[in-house]
Amino acid sequence: MGIGHVLVLPCPGESSVNSLMRFSREMAKHGLKITFVNTEIIHKRIVSAMPEEDMRSLMDSNINLVSIPDGLERSDVERKNIGKVTEVMAQIMPARVEKLIKAINASNGDENITCIVADGVLGWAMKLANKMGIRGVVYWCAAAAAFALQMSVPNLIHDGILDADGFSTKKVEHIQLSPGIPAIETTNLPWAAMPMADPSKQKILFHFMTRNMEPCKLADWWLCNTAYELEPASVALFPKLLPIGPLLENNQTGQFRQEDSSCLSWLDQQAPCSVIYISFGSFGTLDPVQFQELALGLKLINRPFLWAVDQRNIDRAKNEFPDESEEACTKIVDWAPQTKVLAHPAVACFISHCGWSSVIEGISNGVPFLCWPLFFDHFHDKSYICDEWKVELGFDRAENGVILRGEVARKVEQLLSNESIRARALKLKETILKTRAQGGQSWKNFNNFVKWLKQ
């Protein structure tokens, strides 16, 4: 028999690819062989963005990157159509993945694929594993609370809280699945809190999410990049969901864009706990009015900051803050090596969109947050950071929905002068790093999973 060969299937989004690549590296450290499958367009982005030394490291770690066509037209416009993307993922990809597995097994001798590990939004992969008689594992990249919410949708419909298309019936304004799980406003449910308030798109996303969760029940394991200490109530609600996080990896081999590492040498020139780091993730973008208010707010603060700006606004940002000298108190980059940035002693706080990967990276480094949620599950994540862990301050929006420059400056100053928030952030860091250390709960869960894979 071989050492165990795992086929890993991420959702074609940067956060999913990055998180599952970290998970794959952890599995590979235990001697498992990994075939990591991306769509062709995602594969090309990753390979082109990956430094040569990271590519060598990946090859040495027994991880093989492969790609399959996604079935969409070449136009990027079609890939922005959520209805088209979800339709293709559910209808076309299973047959293509099955064909790939059969081809690998036909040429691999005793190292056949023994398990499929798939992002939790690809429930169809569990049907495929069941059909082919191999093991299936769901890996959930977001918070356990988000998993619990989506698994609870049938009950929410049955209780009359949601209608059959996921819209609130107006009986309640907040949903709380159980004590200890932050309540979420019905307007901020993941399928409702979209960048564009389009009811037809909300309906499509809701039905995709709910259809997806049922086949997840076929999986042998449910794993989540969280820690029991972070979300005890959510984990208790679905005991099969096992926390194995936080998964942290400095080799960011799942990035779609090249990282600008010049910001690390710039950080070296700054005083300890002096720099404000701003990033809204791979999908986050600000409209021109909100961008201008944030830029003016940062000027009012008069503190050094590092801003990873989305591609739509990068030229505008560099025009607003043109000084690129080492002595400048501002640094603008297109994409930052975020894990390394948040671990740097110069970083004082993190203005974040509250995507789960960013949340995990921030709290694992003891960095206080200023939360700026944008869409999907960001609002629920913010509730954890603010209401449960108390390691952040949130921004208040004006009547027009814009966070004004004065609010930006005021909240940054409040956070940086609040020693109790920083102390709680450092305490939380200590707690969750222990759970991944030898003997911790996440460590035990991960190692039990690896033993099962090798049986």
Q: How many beta carbons lie within 10 A of that of residue 258, not counting itself?
A: 12
Residues 44 and 95 in one domain: yes
- Residue 168 forms part of a structural domain: no
- According to DSSP, the β-strands at 174-175 and 184-185 are antiparallel
Tokens in use for 66? Answer: 């492969």
- Residue 241 forms part of a structural domain: yes
User: How does pLDDT run across 306-364, given as a tens digit for each residue?
Assistant: 999 988 899 999 899 987 655 578 999 999 999 999 999 999 999 999 999 999 999 99
Residues 230 and 294 in one domain: no
- Residue 274 forms part of a structural domain: yes
Range with lowest mean pLDDT among 29-43, 69-83, 218-232, 374-388: 69-83
Residues 38 and 71 in one domain: yes
Mean pLDDT calculated for residue range 77-90: 62
pLDDT over 70, % of the chain: 93
Residues 347 and 410 in one domain: yes
Q: State the pLDDT at residue 195.
A: 64
Whether the pLDDT of residue 437 is over 90: the answer is: yes
- Residue 190 forms part of a structural domain: no
Residues 214 and 318 in one domain: no
Burial 109-118 (b: 16+ CB within 10 A, else e): eebbbbbbbb
Last residue of a domain, one of 225, 251, 277: 251
Residues 270 and 243 in one domain: no
Range with lowest mean pLDDT among 283-297, 323-337, 377-391: 323-337
Strand (E) or helix (H) holding 281 = none
Residues 106 and 236 in one domain: yes
Distance CA(367)–CA(348), nearest Å, equals 7
Residues 106 and 222 in one domain: yes
Last residue of a domain, one of 198, 230, 251: 251
Whether the pLDDT of residue 426 is over 50: the answer is: yes
Q: What pTM value is reported for the model?
A: 0.93
CATH number at residue 316: 3.40.50.2000
Last residue of a domain, one of 199, 230, 251: 251
- Residue 198 forms part of a structural domain: no
Residues 223 and 326 in one domain: no
Whether the pLDDT of residue 4 is over 90: the answer is: no
Whether the pLDDT of residue 251 is over 80: the answer is: no
Nearest to 415 by CA among 374, 377, 362, 378: 362
Residues 217 and 316 in one domain: no
The CA distances from residue 355 to 142, 372, 373, in Å, are: 8, 10, 8
- Residue 155 forms part of a structural domain: no
- Residue 203 forms part of a structural domain: no
What is the C-alpha end-to-end distance of the chain, expressed in Å? 10
User: How does pLDDT run across 162-192, given as a tens digit for each residue?
Assistant: 999 998 887 778 999 999 899 999 989 998 8
Q: State the pLDDT at residue 374.
A: 93
Residues 143 and 271 in one domain: no
Range of the domain at 271: 262-431
Residues 420 and 273 in one domain: yes
Whether the pLDDT of residue 2 is over 80: the answer is: no
Domain count, the chain: 2
- According to DSSP, the β-strands at 33-39 and 63-68 are parallel
Whether the pLDDT of residue 80 is over 70: the answer is: no
Whether the pLDDT of residue 196 is over 70: the answer is: no
Confidence tier at 1 by pLDDT (50, 70, 90): very low
- Residue 184 forms part of a structural domain: no
